[in-house]
Structure 1
Amino acid sequence: MKKKGFLIDMDGVIYKGSEPIPGAVDFINGLRERELPFLFLTNNSQRTSRDVCYKLNKMGFKVNEEDIFTCAMATARYLASKKENGTAYVIGEGGLLTELHNAGYSIVDDQPDYVIIGEGRTIMLESVDKALNMIMKGAKLIATNLDPNCPVADGKYRAGCGALVAMLECASGVQAFSVGKPSPVMMRMARKALQLTTDETVMIGDTMGTDILGAGSMGFTTVLTLTGVTSREDLVHFGYAPDFIIESIKDLLNQNLFERVIGRSLVPAEY
C-alpha cells in the first residue's frame, strides 16, 4: 500500500517566531525517519526556500530546500506555464524576485505582462501608484496570496499581501488572481510535487480560511492545530470543518491518533 504524505503549514504549526512548537521537531524528523513524504507550504513570499530551510535547520528540523514550497514558487511556476519568458512589475521581496527569475521572467518598470504583489515590509506609495497605472493599461494583476494580515512578534500583526491587493483592486476595478493558499493552483502543485493522489494527502494547518479551506476543497484530509491563529471558539463562524482538531502537532506523536489520520477516519479527534 502506498504511503500517505503530508502538506504542512509552518508558522503557528511547527514554530512560533524563532522557537519550535513542543513536539514539532520530533514529529517532522519522525516523518523523515519513516520515509513518509512531506512538504512545507507557506503563503510568505519574502524568503527563498534556502532561507526558510536554514531557519528550520537551526531549530533542529532535518529538512532540505526541496521540502519547502512557497507561494512565490507557486506563482512563478504558474505564470511560466501561462506565458514563457514574460515580464513583471513586482512589489515584493527577494523570495518572489528569485523565483520569478528562476522561471525565466524579467523584472521591468514599464509595460509588464503582469503586476505581481507579494509580501513586503517596506512598500512605498509611489510603487503602488505605478502598479495601478500599469494595471489600468492592461497588465494583469496577480497576488501571491490574499492573507489580509500576518502575525509578527509579541502578538502583533502587520498588513498582509491581501490588504495591498484589495487597495489595488478597489482603485483599478480589476480583480486579482491569487495563486497561494487556499487556491487550488498551489494545493495541486504541492500534491503533485509529492507524487500523491488526493486520498493520500494530509494537510496540517492552523488557519481555517487558507490551510483547511484549500485542502478540504481539494478533498485532502485536513488537520487543524490550535497552536496558531484559530481557536475552538472560532469554528462556529465557518460553514466547513476540519477532519481532525488537535491542540498541538505534538498530539500526532500519539500512534493511535496518527494512524487514524493517515487512515482518513472522518471521526474528529477530540483533544
Structure 2
Amino acid sequence: MYETPNRVGLLLDMDGVIYRGKELIEGTASFLETMRRMGVPYLFLTNNSQRTRRDIVKKLSRLGIPSTPDQIFTCAIATARFLAQEKPEATAFVIGENGLASALHVNGISVVDDDPDYVVVGEGRNVNYEMVEAAVRMVAKGAKLVATNMDFSCPTESGIRPGCGAIVAMIEKATGIEAFSVGKPSPVMMRMARKELGLRTAETVMVGDTMYTDILGGVQMGYRTVLVMSGHTRRDEVSRYAYQPDLISERLSEIPLEWLTGTRAEEKLVA
C-alpha cells in the first residue's frame, strides 16, 4: 500500500458504473484493486432498496468484486436511519421488498398493517393495487409519506420498469400529499454516505452515471463529481443541465489517478 498525495474517498453508484445488469464493466475490478492498494476508501451507493447488504455483497462476489457489508450503502438503509432519528421505535406500513423491511427492522422500526406513523415506499415487483389503496387511506388519515427514492423508472435487461417514484406518484396524486425522499440526490443520503467513510466534504468524490441523481446530489453537497458514460446518460445530454460534473470519463477505470488523488480541480474536465 502507498499513500495518496491528498486524502480522498469514493462514493460509487453501482448499476452503470460497476456493472450493467449481470455484466461487470470493463476495467472495474483492476481499478478497485488499485484503490485498495492506495488505501482509498470507497462505498457502493445505490438507490435500489430491494436488496440487503448481504445480497449485494453476493452479487458483487459473483462478478469478481470482493466487498463487505459495511461497504454497501442503500437508500433503504438511509431511509431507515432517518426515520429512527426522527421518531425512535416508529411504526411503518411498507411497500417494498426484503432490503427495505430488513433495514427498518435493524433500526428499530416496526412494520405494521394498520395506523402507522409512516407509509414508506420503496421499489419492487410485488406491489399491487391493494397495497397502494391501503397506503392512500393511511396517508389521508395522517401517516407521513416517505419514499426511499424518486427514480420514476428502473433499467432492466429487458427494458425499463416503473420505479419507486412512479409508485409514490399515485399516492401523492390521490392524497395531495408530497412524499419526503431520502435517496439520491437527497442530502440526507449523500451526507450519511460521506460520514460512513469518515470523510470531509472536500475529500469526497461521487462517481455516477446519472445526472439528476448522482451528479446533482454530489454538486449540491459540494463533492467532486465524475460522470461515467458506461450507463444511463449520453454525452450529448450533459450540456442540457445547469449543473455540470467536474469530470466526464468513459468508464470508472479511465478516471485519471492524478486527478482523483491530486488537488481539487479548478476546471471541468473531459477524460
Alignment of 1:99-248 (within 5 A): 99-154=103-158, 156-248=159-251
Deviates more, 1:258-267 or 1:87-96: 258-267
Paired residues of 1:202 and 1:262 also in contact (CA < 8 A)? no
Q: Deviations over 1:145-200 (max 9, x none)?
A: 0001000004x100000011111111100010000000000000000111100000
- State the alpha-carbon separation in 2 of the partners of residues 28 and 149 from structure 1: 28
Q: Which residue number in structure 2 is paired with residue 265 of structure 1?
A: 265
- After TM superposition, what 4+ stretches of structure 1 lie above 3 angstroms from structure 2? none
Is 2:90 the partner of 1:86?
yes
Distance in 1 (CA, whole Å) between partners of 2:266 and 2:164 is: 34
Give SS of 1:141's match: strand
- TM-score, normalised by the number of residues in structure 1: 0.96
Q: Which amino acid aligns with 2:219?
A: G
* Distance in 2 of aligned mates of 1:210 and 1:79: 21
Distance 1:9 1:15 in 2: 10
Instruction: State the number of aligned residues.
Output: 266
Q: Which runs of 5+ in 2 are unaligned?
A: none
Q: CA deviation at 1:266?
A: 3.2
Residue type of the alignment partner of 2:198: Q
What TM-score, normalized by structure 2, do the two folds share? 0.96
Letter of the 1:270 partner, please give it.
V
**Structure 1 residue 2 displacement after superposition:** 5.4
> What residue in structure 1 maps to residue 45 of structure 2?
41
What percentage of aligned pairs have identical amino acids? 53
Which residue matches 1:61?
A: 65
Instruction: Report the Cα distance in structure 2 between the residues aligned to 1:165 and 1:270, rounded to whole angstroms.
Output: 36
Measured after TM superposition, the shift of residue 60 of structure 1 is 1.2
C-alpha deviations, 1:100-157, integer Å up to 9, x for none?
0000111101000000000111211011000000000000000000001000004x10
Residue 249 in structure 1 maps to residue 248 in structure 2: no
Asked if the contact 1:114–1:139 (Cα under 8 Å) also holds between the matched residues in 2, the reply is yes
1:211 positional shift = 0.2
Between the aligned partners of 2:201 and 2:232, the Cα distance in structure 1 is 26
